[in-house]
């Protein structure tokens, strides 16, 4: 076996110049020996490089093949795999998976926590690698096999950047729709070892994670747990066993006419929503204002009528003592209505 695996032809792919990734790669001298059992040389691909390197939006891939938008190993719905014949997909983000394949057909390695050991498909699966924000490139059909986990000595030989990056991602806060992220189970185990003084049971770990008891565990606690070997990083090897040029060409063709879905959670303009209190309130105020104007108009009309009746309310009649005013009641609407209803005499 070569003393320095960086000189092996296979590891040239780790330094692909056009790929923008985080500088936190695992030291291949310590972890690369796991790849000797699967071989270094990728199978030849008939497509030209520009066609091979065409990347796609994950929402677009999901719309055709199913699966979620964030999971590394999504669950594919029955209606999708019955139509496409593809049931297993693995999405490898270079920020999290520094030894993921970078060229179609390249071998690689996948790293994760023990909590997802049984969820990774150790069989043939379609692999996509992300190099830039939401740019996923089809690598081919791969066979995934479990390899020995990293030892504490191998972890100790990784650079400080690798250790800090991994610990930071373990301590990353979960999203709004998640109770805890994938690192929450790791931190829960560390928390329980401190409080219980023993290795926790699986049910205890899940319960602690759901209750958020892991939040007191810091990045330094995580780094220490990997350095002393109480936490381990599980490894799978990735060997390309096929590449479907028609799949890549079909993705390119369909992506030209695909439009991304509208962003979620966009609030409606105020007043347009029936549940928006501001809209009906303003409408009610406008109605009240109109009613007030109507009342005022009626009052003005009544006042004008009153002025017309001023000269007829009192009539001057002659009597023995002179002129005496006689009161004649004003004819109002209520009195006019009463007269209309009363029988004529």
Quickly state the pLDDT bin for 169 (edges 50, 70, 90).
Answer: confident
pLDDT at 141 over 90: yes
What confidence tens digit (pLDDT) does each residue in 208-267 have? 999 989 999 999 999 999 999 999 999 999 999 999 999 999 999 999 999 887 877 655
* 186-206: burial string, b at 16+ Cβ within 10 Å, e else: bbbbbbbeeeeeeebeeeebb
Quote the pLDDT of residue 233.
Answer: 92
Distances (CA, A) of 180 to 195, 214, 230: 20, 9, 21
The mean pLDDT value for 57-71 works out to 87
Sole residue written with tokens 């695996």: 5
What pLDDT shows up at residue 3?
Answer: 38
- pLDDT for 2 beyond 50: no
DSSP per-residue letters across 21-63 = --S----HHHHGGGGTTT-SPPPP--S-HHHHT-EE-HHHHHH
Q: What is the pLDDT of residue 158?
A: 87
The predicted pLDDT at position 338 comes to 59
Which tens digits make up the pLDDT trace of 91-138? Answer: 999 887 888 998 999 999 999 888 766 666 667 899 999 988 889 999
The token pair at 254 is 């369909």
Where helices occur in 57-115 by DSSP H, the ranges are 58-65, 78-84
Q: What is the pTM (predicted TM-score) of this model? A: 0.67
Percent of the chain with pLDDT over 70: 64
Q: What is the pLDDT of residue 308?
A: 47
The region of weakest confidence among 103-112, 159-168, 286-295, 310-319 is 310-319
pLDDT at 175 over 90: no
Query: 146 with 161: CB under 8 angstroms?
Result: no
b/e 209-245 (16+ beta carbons within 10 angstroms → b):
beeebbeebebebbbebbeeeebbbbbbbbbbeebee
Q: In 149-300, at which residue ranges do the beta strands (DSSP E only) sit?
A: 234-242
Task: Using pLDDT thresholds of 50, 70 and 90, give the confidence band for residue 60.
Answer: very high
345 pLDDT higher than 50: no
Q: What is the pLDDT of residue 128?
A: 96
Mean residue pLDDT of the chain comes to: 76
pLDDT of residue 200: 95
């Amino acid at each position: 076996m070569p003393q320095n695996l960086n000189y092996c032809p296979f590891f040239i792919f780790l330094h692909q110049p056009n790929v923008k990734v985080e500088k936190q790669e695992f030291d291949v001298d310590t972890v690369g020996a796991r790849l000797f059992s699967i071989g270094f040389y990728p199978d030849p691909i008939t497509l030209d490089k520009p066609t091979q390197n065409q990347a796609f939006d994950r929402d677009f891939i999901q719309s055709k093949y199913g699966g979620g938008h964030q999971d590394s190993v999504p669950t594919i719905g029955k209606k999708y795999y019955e139509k496409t014949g593809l049931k297993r997909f693995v999405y490898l983000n270079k920020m999290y998976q520094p030894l993921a394949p970078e060229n179609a057909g390249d071998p690689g390695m996948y790293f994760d926590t023990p909590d997802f050991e049984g969820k990774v498909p150790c069989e043939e699966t379609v692999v996509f690698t992300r190099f830039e924000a939401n740019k996923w490139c089809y690598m081919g059909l791969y066979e995934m096999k479990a390899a020995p986990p990293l030892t504490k000595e191998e972890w100790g030989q990784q650079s400080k950047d690798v250790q800090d990056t991994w610990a930071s991602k373990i301590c990353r806060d979960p999203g709004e729709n998640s109770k805890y992220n994938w690192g929450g189970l790791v931190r829960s185990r560390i928390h329980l070892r401190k409080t219980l003084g023993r290795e926790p049971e699986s049910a205890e770990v899940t319960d602690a994670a759901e209750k958020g008891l892991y939040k007191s565990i810091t990045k330094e606690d995580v780094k220490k747990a990997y350095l002393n070997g109480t936490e381990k990083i599980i490894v799978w090897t990735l060997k390309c066993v096929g590449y479907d040029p028609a799949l890549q060409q079909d993705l390119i063709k369909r992506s030209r006419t695909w439009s991304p879905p509208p962003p979620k959670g966009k609030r409606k303009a105020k007043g347009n929503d029936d549940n928006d209190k501001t809209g009906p309130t303003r409408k009610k105020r406008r109605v009240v204002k109109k009613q007030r104007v109507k009342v005022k108009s009626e009052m003005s009309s009544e006042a004008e009528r009153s002025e017309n009746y001023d000269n007829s309310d009192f009539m001057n009649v002659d009597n023995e003592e002179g002129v005496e005013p006689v009161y004649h009641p004003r004819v109002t609407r209520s009195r006019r209505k009463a007269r209309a209803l009363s029988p004529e005499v």
